Structure 1
Amino acid sequence: MESIQALLANPTAWAALVTLVVMEVVLGIDNLIFISILSNKLPPEQRNKARRLGIGLALGMRLLLLTMIAWIVGLTAPVFDLGRTGPAGPNGSPSFETEFSWKDLILIAGGLFLIWKATKEIHHAVDPEPVGGVFETRSPAAISFSSVIVQIILLDVVFSVDSILTAVGMTDNVAVMVIAVLVAVTVMLVAAEPLANFINRNPTVVMLALGFLLMIGAVLIANGFGVEVPKGYIYAAMAFSTLVEALNMLSRRAKQRRA
């Protein structure tokens, strides 16, 4: 109780909490886009269940990882080095490196999975006769729900590790981390159904969201190779693309009203 009161009376802790909540919500949106696209492939009666289960798993993984902070921090220790580095950048550090930690390997694997999944979904959207993928069999109705959950779990692991490492890098107060994670996951839970329904009603938004996943996957791979892509550029590009798509939607609705 005393530690909570000390936390509430500490302006530094409040500043860290607000900043961390914003960062966790932003990271959670990436996770939520993926969950929304996958859940919309299920029958309507299963979609909410898949979203809630996926977000619940994301919360569980984040809280579990918070209890293993020492192990998580250890993921940043080098595992092996291929001995190659890029030329020095403006800040004096190499533009890329091949000294890999477990965190780097997880980010690279997650990025490759995101690129593969987004590319496959784009192919299915533009191909009139799409071919089944790795997670699909001849009887999709029997296993599609479990397939979606498996894919959500794989990406939850990647986003959870990234989320907790972000939290560890910003504060050493576990209470602040827990509160930030709970707030971010609550926002995901509230926004899940409206976002998924909006994506489902607007097919062009699906393509935009898949484009976002491609970009996020590329950024994860770049981070795994030690290339730091400024997050401001990424989210500015996403915001600009979203604005253009919103203008296109307004234009289409205006034409429909005039017709």
Structure 2
Amino acid sequence: MNLDMLEPILIIISIDIILGGDNAVVIALASRNLPPEQRNKAIFLGTGLAIAARILLTTVALYLLQIPFLQLIGGLLLFYIALKLLTDEDDNQQINAGDSLMAAVKTIVFADIVMGFDNVLAIAGASHNNIALVIMGLLVSVPIIVWGSRFILMLMDRFPMLIYFGAGILAYTAAEMVLEDSYVLHVLYEYPMIKDWLPILGVVATISTGYFVNKKREDAAA
């Protein structure tokens, strides 16, 4: 594996882990009413189908992002998702626990699809139209999310800077998506300095905005 492939794979894995905490909670909640012997089956089957659905949706997103201006729109939307990651106070959702194996599996897959839009968009932007990178990144990161979810969530609670790090990765990916849009490439063709600095400025602006919004909220609460 060369370095050109290693960077996007690491970014994809990081995006999945940062954004995947809620998905891991969904898996736990959906299977909590099952007998112990069926829980692992629900986790394996639900996670496997969720990975397949995620790959399919990301493949569709890769094709859609070839349409003019959609890379630009997708990048701007990903900036919003990065900022939302920093400033959301509570993103918990009510998940009904299934009382049968198939009910739990359906809940896991459906919730993953509904909640996974940000993951799909971010991964599509980070993969540079290479579906092999998407598959490799998901196969590595999803088991980490499933089995290490409690540890990951504990780290995020204890070290809030990890959330800022994740938002920075999303902002960087968003800037690259914007720069890969054919219209933006045409406009910025004669301004290479903007192309070099936009990802850095996007990361700084996103993290700074999130920090000041959170600081203002904390001051108001105090």
TM range (shorter): 0.5 to 0.7
Shift of 1:26: 1.8
- Residues 159-170 of structure 1: pairs in structure 2 closer than 5 A: 159-168=119-128
Shift of 1:67: 3.2
Query: Where does structure 1 lack aligned partners over 5 or more consecutive residues?
Result: 1-12, 78-100, 122-132, 169-173, 234-259
- Residues 73-92 of structure 1: pairs in structure 2 closer than 5 A: 74-77=69-72
AA in 2 matched with 1:180:
L
Shift of the 47–68 alpha-carbon distance from structure 1 to 2, 3 Å rule, reads same
1:36 matched to 2:10? The reply is: no
More helix by share: 2
Aligned to 1:219: 167
Tell me which of 103, 108, 127 is aligned to 2:80. Answer: 108
Count of aligned pairs: 166
1:50 matched to 2:46? The reply is: yes
Instruction: Compute the RMSD of aligned alpha carbons.
Output: 4.2
Q: What secondary structure sits across from 2:147 in the alignment? A: helix
Q: Is the 2:85–2:167 Cα contact (8 Å) retained in structure 1?
A: no
AA in 2 matched with 1:160:
V
AA in 2 matched with 1:162:
A
Q: Is the 1:28–1:188 Cα contact (8 Å) retained in structure 2?
A: yes
TM-score if structure 1 supplies the norm length? 0.47
Shift of the 193–158 alpha-carbon distance from structure 1 to 2, 3 Å rule, reads closer
Shift of 1:64: 2.4
> Aligned residues: percent identity?
8
Shift of the 194–34 alpha-carbon distance from structure 1 to 2, 3 Å rule, reads same
| C-alpha distance in structure 2 between counterparts of 1:210 and 1:145, whole Å | 28
Shift of the 151–114 alpha-carbon distance from structure 1 to 2, 3 Å rule, reads farther
| C-alpha distance in structure 2 between counterparts of 1:105 and 1:167, whole Å | 17
Larger radius of gyration: 1
TM-score if structure 2 supplies the norm length? 0.54
1:6-54 CA distance string (max 9 Å, x none): xxxxxxx933112222222222222443321221112252333332232
Aligned to 1:181: 134
